[in-house]
Amino acid sequence: MSNQGPKTLFDKIWSEHLVGQREDGTNLLYIDRHLVHEVTSPQAFEGLKISNRPVHRPEATIAVADHNVPTINRQNIEDPQSKIQVETLAKNTKEHGIQYFDLMDQRQGIVHIIGPEQGITQPGMTIVCGDSHTSTHGAFGALAFGIGTSEVEHVLATQTIVQNPAKNMRISVNGELPFGVNSKDLILYIIGKIGTAGGTGHVIEYAGSSIMGLSMEGRMTICNMSIEAGARAGLISPDQTTFNYIKGRPYAPGTEHWDQAVEYWSSLPSDNDANYDHEIVIDSSEIDPMVTWGTSPEDVVSVKGTVPNPSSAKTENKKKSIERSLEYMGLKPGTKITDIKLDKIFIGSCTNGRIEDLRKVASIVKDKKIASHVQAMIVPGSGLVKKQAEEEGIDKILKDAGFEWREAGCSMCLGMNPDQLKPGERCASTSNRNFEGRQGRGGRTHLMSPELAAASAITGNISDIRDFT
């Protein structure tokens, strides 16, 4: 990558963070912020201890427990292993002088929700976390990606990471979003189009009027699922919407540096004639509300569509993979998506557990009742989202409709805590992964937007929000 010539947003952040080259030819990239959670960090801290290495810059790291935590009765974590993991994080952070939001702290929540919420996430930063959905923070024009535990240890010890530059991909979505179509539909559509390996080796920059017209919450939903397209990270150019969101948050630049920061942030958007290794242009009018039918996030179809037929697959491998998915999902080819009956509804996760998502759900289910055969659960992304929702009376609307109202955490997105699907149960979920067993062994997940999940909770079948009044 040359220093001259037009640059992409990614190129700019990359060159700004390059510490140097090691003798083996790899690049050392400086990391501005490191987010840490309980599941992928214990072995990293243990590694530091074994080698007797200190944390290089403890104040650049923020820790929170989210994956394992109960969403009811949180004073007492019943699972002894989960309990040890959460306690280990508390102990490790204390020992190294790292800020930790404990379970009773209102700021506790899903790591990718609280970073932006606290103003920790800012444009032009490099941010890492031992979690693949770190891509969420790219919505602010920060280069943010998931790393493994060995790399967590590397970042703790050196505040850098060993990386080689990614390739640049740009996905532009233009036009006004059709009624009933929102950011979740957009990203599911994109993943369906490019596939779960479509972004491998790339950083995807999302651009175009449909993307830039989204709120920060909507942009986060898009970047969040970049990893489901195989990309290393997602990025959106920072603009006034971004700056407005950040201003005044606890960790945001204070008044003494605000103007200087905004000036720098404003220099970050990709240059007009910057070069991309790969470009995709989408017209938003071609997008419907989307739902997944299978066990990979690329298995998407319009809510108006039907379950695909394996015999229509182009390759033998694809055919086998569709057959395997359908068997697991207990679905027959040709079934109308809206004829699929549900058992559970899960609204939450780092994809769709923000206040805007909860407001949308509340507006749809207000003065209605969920279908008698479904169990519906709503898990706010953070303690502060929960508080805000309660102040707005959203919790009451949801509870009246029959939803369970929980404490913040990852919950049934991955079911590490007691919130899980039972074998064969079918769930409409606003999360990001529909892998076999993801929400519980034998559980069947249909990914969709909060709007669709809300409408589906009321009817008990997967439902099109556009038919819903």
Pick out residues in 110-169 that bind ligand SF4 (CB under 6 A).
110, 112, 131, 133
DSSP string computed for 407-423: -SS-GGGTT-SS--PPT
Residue number with CB closer to another protein (301 or 455): 301
Pick out residues in 104-133 that bind another protein (CB under 8 A).
122, 125, 130-132
**Is residue 427 within 8 Å of 347, Cβ to Cβ?**
no
Q: Say which amino acid occupies 318.
A: K
DSSP string computed for 93-140: HHHHT-EEE-TTSTT-B-HHHHHHHTT---TT-EEEESSGGGGGGGGG
Binding mask 286-305 for another protein (x = CB under 8 A): ----------x---------
Which listed option, ligand SF4, another protein, none, makes contact with residue 349 (CB within 5 to 8 Å by class)? Answer: ligand SF4
**Is residue 432 within 8 Å of 297, Cβ to Cβ?**
yes
Minimal distance, residue 191 CB to ligand SF4, in Å? 15
Q: Rounded distance, CA 313 to CA 317, Å?
A: 9
Identify the residue among 288, 404, 425, 436 touching another protein (CB under 8 A).
436
- Going by DSSP bridges, is the β-strand pair 300-302/344-347 parallel, antiparallel, or unpaired? unpaired
The two three-digit tokens of residue 78, written as one number: 């019943």
DSSP state of 193: H
Pick out residues in 11-70 that bind ligand SF4 (CB under 6 A).
66-67
Q: Say which amino acid occupies 81.
A: Q
Minimal distance, residue 269 CB to ligand SF4, in Å? 27
Pick out residues in 369-408 that bind another protein (CB under 8 A).
none
Query: Candidates 158-166, 303-311, 361-369, 444-452 — which segment interacts with another protein by CB under 8 A?
Result: 158-166
Binding mask 174-203 for another protein (x = CB under 8 A): ----------------------xx--xx--
> What's the gap between Cα 445 and its chain centre?
16
Minimal distance, residue 350 CB to ligand SF4, in Å? 3
3-state secondary structure (DSSP) of residue 442: coil
Q: Rounded distance, CA 336 to CA 392, Å?
A: 37
Residue number with CB closer to ligand SF4 (284 or 295): 295
Pick out residues in 389-418 that bind ligand SF4 (CB under 6 A).
410, 413-414
- Going by DSSP bridges, is the β-strand pair 290-292/300-302 parallel, antiparallel, or unpaired? antiparallel
Query: Any contact of residue 270 with ligand SF4 (CB under 6 A)?
Result: no
Identify the residue among 174, 215, 275, 321 touching another protein (CB under 8 A).
321
Which listed option, another protein, ligand SF4, none, makes contact with residue 148 (CB within 5 to 8 Å by class)? Answer: another protein
Identify the residue among 42, 178, 208, 418 touching another protein (CB under 8 A).
42
Identify the residue among 82, 160, 432, 463 touching ligand SF4 (CB under 6 A).
432
Minimal distance, residue 60 CB to another protein, in Å? 8
**Is residue 163 within 8 Å of 27, Cβ to Cβ?**
yes
Q: How many chain residues bind another protein (CB under 8 A)? A: 79
The residue among 129, 157, 123, 173 whose CA lies nearest residue 16 is: 123
Query: Any contact of residue 261 with ligand SF4 (CB under 6 A)?
Result: no
Q: Rounded distance, CA 378 to CA 116, Å?
A: 21
Query: Any contact of residue 350 with another protein (CB under 8 A)?
Result: no
Q: How many chain residues bind ligand SF4 (CB under 6 A)? A: 13
3-state secondary structure (DSSP) of residue 280: strand
Query: Any contact of residue 263 with another protein (CB under 8 A)?
Result: no
Question: What per-residue string of b and e applies to 266-288 under the rule 16 or more CB within 10 Å gives b?
Answer: eebbbeeebebeeeeebebeebb
Query: Candidates 37-45, 177-185, 207-215, 304-312 — which segment interacts with another protein by CB under 8 A?
Result: 37-45
- Residue written as tokens 């923020």? 62
Q: Rounded distance, CA 307 to CA 46, Å?
A: 47
Q: Which residues bind ligand SF4 (CB under 6 A)?
A: 66-67, 110, 112, 131, 133, 349-350, 410, 413-414, 431-432
